[in-house]
Amino acid sequence: MLVDTTGLIAGLFSLVPILITSFGVLLELKDTIFSNTSQKLTNDGYDFVVVGGGSAGCVVAARLSENPKHRVLLLEAGGNPNPFAAVPLTTPFLQNHPATDWQYTTAPFSDSSGVSMKWPRGRGLGGSSTTNFMMYMRGNPLDFDQWANITGDFKWSYNNVEHYFKKMEDYHGIYKNNLGKHGRNGPLRIEPVIYAPGLDYVLEAVKEAGYTFSPLEYTQKRGRRYSTYSAYIKPNLDRPNLEILRYSHVTKIHFNHNLKANGVSFVRRGGTSYVTTKREVIICAGTINSAQLLMLSGIGPLEHLKSVGINPLVNLPVGRNLQDHVSTIIGPFMLNKPVSFMPPRDVTLISIGEFVLNGSGPLSSPLGTIGIGVTSSSSSPEWPNLLHIFASLGIYEGLGATLDQIFGTENYYTNLFSTFIEQDAHLVNLSLGKPRSTGFIELKDGNPLSKPIIYPQYYSDPGNQDIQDMIEGYQMLVNLYENTNSLGKKL
Ligand SMILES: *[C@@H]1O[C@H](CO)[C@@H](O)[C@H](O)[C@H]1NC(C)=O
Ligand SMILES: *[C@@H]1O[C@H](CO)[C@@H](O)[C@H](O)[C@H]1NC(C)=O
Ligand SMILES: *[C@@H]1O[C@H](CO)[C@@H](O)[C@H](O)[C@H]1NC(C)=O
Ligand SMILES: *[C@@H]1O[C@H](CO)[C@@H](O)[C@H](O)[C@H]1NC(C)=O
């Protein structure tokens, strides 16, 4: 018997945000019932207090607690990863969701436009590695070498960090026959994209245009998301010397008279607690919250701290030199063949079964992302500065609203897509790898629970090179989709 399940699947999808909320409530309730703070926080014992259990904090806490002599406390503002995070297709629903995200919005880009942007940041163990698009990319060796030059510390050089990449990796990606360059015994599982409609056309077209791009690789295990929580914390939850306190939002770092950090305050279940450390406080709170916490603790630009009533301890440019890979979605490039992922058509009861039983199919896909590559604009011939992420994603009712939700663009994508509903398409996320523009982060006030103010200052570089570079990337992509045999002529 054939049953039309389109309506059923769409119905299930519209439930996802509500289910994420419900799981969030249940996770917090479970924590309230089963973990008790008071007995645990013996103020004498910790060697290390790690602030933030996100992409970095999970790794730091796990590596430090490998030594049984170290007593490690990990403080995380959110809870365990939401169960939906395991299903890559739900990624867009996790971003900006109150149960899984800090829900940051930037300051308006200019006084007149009022336009601002959302900056999704994962909240909970695993941090943004629990809510992102899972793409695995090491980065350009030149960048590491440049950091070594700037810091005067060779340890940042690519030759030195490569060892740690290998040590981290459990690599099953597309270059798995080149294991000299990759590791197989580390905790972080990496797999190639499994569900990738239209990928071959893109790779061929790019080749015609003279570049080499590659299929995406994800931090994924048998199709399920593999965050730094999955890789580093979950296997080590029973270590007696690693304590994790969830729903604990650190509000201040304390220092002794020599300005050595010796403890932190944090808010948990409405009450403020204090914990000391014998050795170190390690701040792993991410770009935004790390800067915020340092400033709240008196480390930051002197005048700014005074202006929000914080007693300055050290005058440093914390929150300055903010750089973001500004990105824009190019497309939709309409296709005349059904070679893109069209959720209402392609997500079926069978594909749900395929994911559950075999870890493959459209549910293993973070919204149709398939391939990735870098190119150089004419201003940076030796050092690729444009990043292209290809999404093979047909336009369907609701996609516009989803993108508007991620980006905070009101009805922009909803309107843009409204005349293309049910047509196959590709979209490309074009972003600037080495932006010249810099912004800054400041405190709104002295209240540690206020959100800081983010000023990205995109495209503000004096020579306007950033926007010029983006235009070149845009032209390259249009050429790809209009003029190559594999894409423009064929599809
Ligand atoms: C909570 O504290 C009590 C008393 O110290 C202890 O017996 C119990 O095992 C603790 N529960 C958990 C889950 O840590
Ligand atoms: C780093 O410094 C060395 C020596 O000055 C120079 O040769 C090299 O090009 C620099 N590398 C980068 C990536 O900046
Ligand atoms: C199971 O998953 C693998 C990749 O992980 C894929 O190659 C294979 O086609 C899948 N099998 C089915 C029946 O979907
Ligand atoms: C586009 O790519 C940038 C990274 O270059 C990323 O920060 C941004 O979240 C991406 N947007 C989407 C919708 O994937």
pLDDT per residue as tens digits for the range 45-55: 899 999 999 99
* pLDDT band of 110, cuts 50, 70, 90: confident
428 alpha carbon – ligand 4 mean position (Å): 10
* pLDDT tens digits for range 111-130: 777 789 999 999 999 999 99
Nearest ligand, CA of residue 331?
A: 4
- Is the per-residue pLDDT at 342 higher than 60? yes
How far is it, in rounded angstroms, from Cα 228 to Cα 136? 12
For 469, the token pair is 């570079």
Q: What is the mean pLDDT of residues 225-233?
A: 98
Q: What is the mean pLDDT of residues 402-420?
A: 89
- Is the per-residue pLDDT at 36 higher than 90? no
Cβ atoms within 10 Å, residue 452 = 18
* pLDDT band of 5, cuts 50, 70, 90: low
The answer to whether residues 16 and 82 touch, using CB atoms and an 8 Å cutoff, is no
How far is it, in rounded angstroms, from Cα 403 to Cα 381? 33
- Is the per-residue pLDDT at 488 higher than 90? no
| Closest of 177, 223, 195, 157 to residue 340, by C-alpha | 195
358 alpha carbon – ligand 3 mean position (Å): 6
Three-state SS string over the chain comes to CCCCCHHHHHHHHHHHHHHHHHHHHHHHHHHHHHCCHHHHCCCCCCCEEEECCCHHHHHHHHHHCCCCCCCEEEECCCCCCCHHHHCHHHHHHHCCCCCCECCEECCCCCCCCCCCCEECCECCCCHHHHCCCCECCCCCHHHHHHHHHHHCCHHHCHHHHHHHHHHHEEECCCCCCCCCCCCCCCCEEEEECCCCCCHHHHHHHHHHCCCCCEECEECEECCEECCHHHHHHHHHCCCCCEEEECCEEEEEEEECCCCCEEEEEEEECCEEEEEECCCEEEECCHHHHHHHHHHHCCEECHHHHHHCCCCCCEECCCCCCECCCCEEEEEEEECCCCCCECHHHHCCHHHHHHHHHHCCCHHHCCCCEEEEEEECCCCCCCCCCEEEEEEEECECCCHHHHHHHHHCCCCHHHHHHHHHCCECEEEEEEEECCCCCCEEEECCCCCCCCCCEEECCCCCCCCCHHHHHHHHHHHHHHHHHHHCHHHHHCC
Nearest ligand, CA of residue 35?
A: 1
Which distant-in-sequence residues (6+ apart) come within 8 Å of 4 by Cβ? Answer: none
- Is the per-residue pLDDT at 449 higher than 60? yes
- Is the per-residue pLDDT at 42 higher than 90? no
360 alpha carbon – ligand 3 mean position (Å): 6
* pLDDT band of 12, cuts 50, 70, 90: confident
80 alpha carbon – ligand 1 mean position (Å): 20
The answer to whether residues 294 and 300 touch, using CB atoms and an 8 Å cutoff, is yes
Q: Which residue has the higher pLDDT, 2 or 439?
A: 439
- Is the per-residue pLDDT at 220 higher than 90? yes
Nearest ligand, CA of residue 223?
A: 3
Model pLDDT, residue 1: 44
Q: What is the mean pLDDT of residues 58-78?
A: 97
197 alpha carbon – ligand 3 mean position (Å): 14
How far is it, in rounded angstroms, from Cα 392 to Cα 345? 14
How far is it, in rounded angstroms, from Cα 368 to Cα 84? 17
Whole-model pTM: value is 0.93
Task: Please give the span between the terminal C-alpha atoms of the chain, in angstroms, as a whole number.
Answer: 34
Residues with CB under 6 Å of ligand 4 are: 133, 325, 327, 387, 389, 406, 429, 431
Write the residue with the smallest CA distance to atom 4 of ligand 1: 39
Q: How far is CA 389 from CA 94, 196, 259, 291, 432, in A?
A: 20, 13, 44, 29, 12
Model pLDDT, residue 34: 84
114-118, 361-365, 484-488 — which one is most confidently predicted on average? Answer: 361-365
Model pLDDT, residue 489: 75
374 alpha carbon – ligand 2 mean position (Å): 21
* pLDDT tens digits for range 275-323: 999 999 999 999 999 999 999 999 999 999 999 999 999 999 999 999 9
Is any atom of ligand 2 closer than 6 Å to the C-beta of 145? yes
* pLDDT band of 436, cuts 50, 70, 90: very high
Query: For the chain, what is the mean pLDDT?
Result: 93
Q: What is the mean pLDDT of residues 365-377?
A: 97
Is any atom of ligand 3 closer than 6 Å to the C-beta of 194? yes
For β-strands 280-283 and 48-51, DSSP reports them as parallel
- Is the per-residue pLDDT at 243 higher than 70? yes
- Is the per-residue pLDDT at 33 higher than 80? yes
* pLDDT band of 240, cuts 50, 70, 90: very high
How far is it, in rounded angstroms, from Cα 57 to Cα 53? 4
How far is it, in rounded angstroms, from Cα 283 to Cα 286? 8
The answer to whether residues 253 and 294 touch, using CB atoms and an 8 Å cutoff, is yes
Q: Which residue has the higher pLDDT, 134 or 490?
A: 134
**Distance, C-alpha 124 to centroid of its chain:** 13
* pLDDT band of 43, cuts 50, 70, 90: low
Model pLDDT, residue 477: 96
